[in-house]
C-alpha cells in the first residue's frame, strides 16, 4: 500500500481542509477525482477512494497535525473495537475503511442502539487504559454500529491527559433517556442543537443532570 501513498497525496492535495471555530466541523474546499467524502469532524475530513474502497484517508486541517493518530493506532494494534491504521503520510492518515452508521446517524434514522454497544465501548476503554493510553473524546459521531456491536473511530485524543467525561455523560444519557426516543427518528436540527448546547452546557445549568432535564423537556415536547 505504501507505494501508492504519493499518488493519493497528490490527488488529495487538491482538497483544502480548514478548521472552524467553537468546535464546529472543518470546511472543505475543492475536490479530488475518484474520491468521496465520507466523514467530517472538527479536526479533519475523511475520504474514500472509489477505485480502492477498502481504505479511508483522513486529511487534517492546517494547524491540527498535532492530532495525527498513527502513534496511537500503532500502540492499539489489531483490535475488534478499533479500525486499523496502515500508516501516515504528510497530512493524512491511511486507515481501514469501516462500514456502518455512527450512533448520531442511528438517532437520525431511528435505528435501535443495543445495550451491547455500550458494553463494547466500556470494554474498549478498559483495553485502552491497559496499554497506557487515555480514552477521551468518545461521542455519538465517533462510534459506529456494526452488526449490533461498537467500533470506535478517531483516537486522536487518547494521548491527552484528563477526563472530558463525554463518554460518562453519553452512557448516563443512554441509560436514563434513550428509552424515551428509542426507535423514533430524531430531526437533525434537534440533535445539532443539543450538540451545541452540550459544548457549553454549563451556560444552561450548573450540573449535567440539570442540563439533561432541559434536554428531556425538549424530547418530551417532541413526542
Half-sphere exposure of 165 (CA within 13 A, CB side): 8
Residues of the chain with CATH 3.30.200: 2-96
Domain made up of 2-96: CATH architecture: 2-Layer Sandwich (3.30)
Q: Average per-residue pLDDT in the chain?
A: 87
Cell digits for 186? 430524531
Cell digits for 15? 482538497
pTM attached to this predicted model: 0.86
pLDDT, average across residues 184-198: 87
Catalytic annotation, residues: 137
Asked if 140 and 108 touch (Cβ cutoff 8 Å), the reply is no
pLDDT digit string, tens, across residues 112-162: 999 999 999 999 999 999 999 999 999 999 999 999 999 999 998 999 999
pLDDT digit string, tens, across residues 49-64: 888 899 999 999 887 7
Amino acid at each position: 500500500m505504501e507505494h501508492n501513498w504519493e499518488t493519493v497525496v497528490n490527488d488529495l492535495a487538491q482538497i483544502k481542509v480548514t478548521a472552524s471555530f467553537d468546535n464546529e466541523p472543518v470546511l472543505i474546499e475543492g475536490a479530488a477525482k475518484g474520491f468521496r467524502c465520507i466523514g467530517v469532524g472538527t479536526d479533519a475530513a475523511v475520504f474514500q477512494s472509489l477505485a480502492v474502497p477498502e481504505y479511508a484517508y483522513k486529511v487534517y486541517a492546517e494547524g491540527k497535525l498535532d492530532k495525527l493518530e498513527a502513534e496511537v493506532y500503532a500502540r492499539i494494534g489489531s483490535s475488534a473495537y478499533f479500525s486499523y491504521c496502515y500508516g501516515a503520510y504528510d497530512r493524512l492518515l491511511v486507515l481501514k475503511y469501516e462500514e456502518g452508521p455512527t450512533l448520531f446517524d442511528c438517532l437520525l434514522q431511528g435505528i435501535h442502539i443495543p445495550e451491547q454497544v455500550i458494553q463494547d465501548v466500556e470494554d474498549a476503554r478498559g483495553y485502552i487504559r491497559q496499554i497506557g493510553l487515555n480514552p477521551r473524546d468518545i461521542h455519538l459521531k465517533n462510534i459506529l454500529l456494526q452488526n449490533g456491536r461498537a467500533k470506535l473511530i478517531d483516537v486522536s485524543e487518547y494521548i491527552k491527559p484528563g477526563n472530558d467525561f463525554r463518554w460518562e455523560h453519553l452512557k448516563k444519557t443512554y441509560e436514563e433517556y434513550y428509552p424515551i426516543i428509542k426507535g423514533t427518528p430524531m430531526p437533525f436540527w434537534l440533535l445539532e442543537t443539543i450538540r451545541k448546547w452540550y459544548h457549553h452546557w454549563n451556560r444552561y445549568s450548573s450540573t449535567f443532570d440539570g442540563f439533561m432535564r432541559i434536554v428531556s423537556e425538549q424530547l418530551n415536547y417532541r413526542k
